Amino acid sequence: MKKFHFVMLLFFIVFLSAGITTFALAFGDEQAVTVGTERREFDKLYSAFDTLKESYFKEVDQDTLINGAINGMIDSLEDPYSDYMNQEEASSFHESISSSFEGIGAEIQEQDGYIIIVSPLKGSPAEKAGLKPNDKVLYVDGKSIQGMSSTEAVMLIRGEKGTEVKLVIQRPGITEPLDITIVRDTIPIETVYGEMLEDGIAKVQITAFSENTSKELITVLNDLQKQGMKGLVLDLRQNPGGLLDQAINISSLFVPKGEVLFKVQDREGNTQVMASKNEKNPDIPLVVVIDKGSASASEILAAAVSESADVPLVGENSFGKGTVQRAQDFSDGSNMKYTTDKWLTPNDNWIHEKGIKPDHEVSLPDYASLPFINPDEELKLSTASTQVKAAQQMLKALGYEVGREDGFFDENMEKVVIEFQKAEKLEPTGVLTGQSTLKLMEKLREKIQQNDTQIQKAVEILKEQVK
């Protein structure tokens, strides 16, 4: 297995506040667009505009018509990664470049007319509330968002710190929709977390690529080297990527100089090869961990180290986003993003909608996929629901003898809940609600972290390298 090298690098990412909607790559500067008025192909458009402006039964706002026309053109592309943003939305887009924002902390994307959760940020309200990749958001505060763009959905989901947003989601494998109430918070874009594990093995988790990621990453890596790091697990799970015009620099951190990082291909089939610029840095064995929430720039990085540096990948198949977007401003302050190219791995693979298959496929325990339980609901004797079933499975995973797992809250379940409440120094009511529910989910998260089979496999591989 080849090694990776540390270099200083700079990132550029754009987050949309509430769901941190992200794009794979951006090349070049944003530019204002001036549309000519003498082009014959626009005659039909001008005619429709004039007719509605003059003859519609109510007075219409011309900006609304123009915005609608642009939005309609982009919607006709049927591309979830292309979107038009009016002035308000574009303003939020630019504000979100800062090191923090107020929202729930989850990346979303539009897919087949629905808003899908790509990945919640680590430690965010979205993660704590139990949102998971591939959750389909049906309603926001009682309003259906089917057919909305990701930008429109973001405007509903985001909001001031301390306010609540109520989501109704459909989770794959679960028949009944789930009601989830999330308290918005300030989401600091702290994206790099490092720790020493055992036998000189360090773990660094990159949760997203924001404007400060490079500084955070280098600081963490330098600190870990001082602590005696001999091998590194790079955790890209649940990392939605980002808008990167410095993709070469970040991938060069791990790939030897001159090796191919990725390729960009336009609609004519012209291909541009991006090669590593690595320069004289220390060698340390590396293993990368990915999952279905690893998307966009995370996949560029994973594919680059895998195919050009023989770095093992561990975990689950990644998300599958293989297109390149450009963000472009209009002179009135509105904005659009649109797909310009597709990117290919060093071996010419297009991973779009397929993802990257790891060398070592390792799943987390089944209890890691249990659904969120709404703490506002009361689960008590004689109630029956999917929420009760989830609670039974959580308690079983924590070692309690629940007996049945069919979603019916019987007398034994009541006794088990009381036992759990006593163990956690909570009022022993036998009713699972509020703090009891939150504590149950907290204990389950701790168990998942302690039994992280994917990280354990990565460490096992590295131990063979650092003997």
Q: Give residue 248's pLDDT.
A: 73
- Given a contact cutoff of 8 angstroms between Cβ atoms, the answer to whether 162 and 183 are in contact is yes
Instruction: Please state the φ and ψ torsions of residue 346, each to the nearest 5 degrees.
Output: -55, -30
- The rounded mean pLDDT for the chain is 86
Instruction: Please state the φ and ψ torsions of residue 78, each to the nearest 5 degrees.
Output: 55, 45
Question: With 90 as the cut, is the pLDDT of residue 1 above it?
Answer: no
Q: Give residue 418's pLDDT.
A: 97
Among the listed residues 367, 442, 458, the one whose alpha carbon sits nearest the alpha carbon of residue 127: 442
Q: Distances in Å between the alpha carbon of 286 and those of 225, 315, 319, 334?
A: 14, 14, 22, 43
User: Is 110 known to be catalytic?
Assistant: no
- Supply 171's token pair: 């989770």
The pLDDT of 16-28, averaged and rounded, is 34
Active-site residue among 122, 128, 321, 337?
Answer: 321
Q: Give residue 95's pLDDT.
A: 58
Q: Give residue 247's pLDDT.
A: 63
In which band, very low, low, confident or very high, does the pLDDT at 357 lie, cut at 50, 70 and 90? very high
Q: What is the pLDDT of residues 270-290, one digit of tens each?
A: 999 999 988 766 689 999 999
Q: Which domains does the chain have, with CATH numbers?
A: 100-188 (2.30.42.10), 189-326+334-365+460-465 (3.90.226.10), 366-450 (1.10.101.10)
Q: How far is 163 from 121, CA to CA, in rounded Å?
A: 19
Q: How far is 270 from 200, CA to CA, in rounded Å?
A: 45
Question: With 90 as the cut, is the pLDDT of residue 97 above it?
Answer: no
Active-site residue among 89, 110, 259, 307?
Answer: 307
In which band, very low, low, confident or very high, does the pLDDT at 231 lie, cut at 50, 70 and 90? very high
In which band, very low, low, confident or very high, does the pLDDT at 364 lie, cut at 50, 70 and 90? very high
Q: Give residue 94's pLDDT.
A: 66
Percent of the chain with pLDDT over 70: 88
Which distant-in-sequence residues (6+ apart) come within 8 Å of 283 by Cβ?
Answer: 3, 4, 5
The pLDDT of 88-116, averaged and rounded, is 77
Q: Which run of H or E residues covers position 150?
A: helix 150-157
User: Is 296 known to be catalytic?
Assistant: yes
For the entire predicted model, the pTM comes to 0.73
The pLDDT of 215-235, averaged and rounded, is 91
Active-site residue among 251, 296, 306, 436?
Answer: 296
Which of helix, strand or coil describes residue 280? coil
Q: Give residue 150's pLDDT.
A: 83
Calculate the CA dihedral of residues 161, 205, 279, 314 and round it to 10 degrees. Answer: -140
Q: Give residue 36's pLDDT.
A: 46
Which has the higher per-residue pLDDT, 35 or 368? 368
Of 24-33, 121-130, 255-264, the least confident: 24-33
Q: What is the pLDDT of residues 120-153, one digit of tens each?
A: 887 889 999 989 888 999 999 999 999 888 888 9
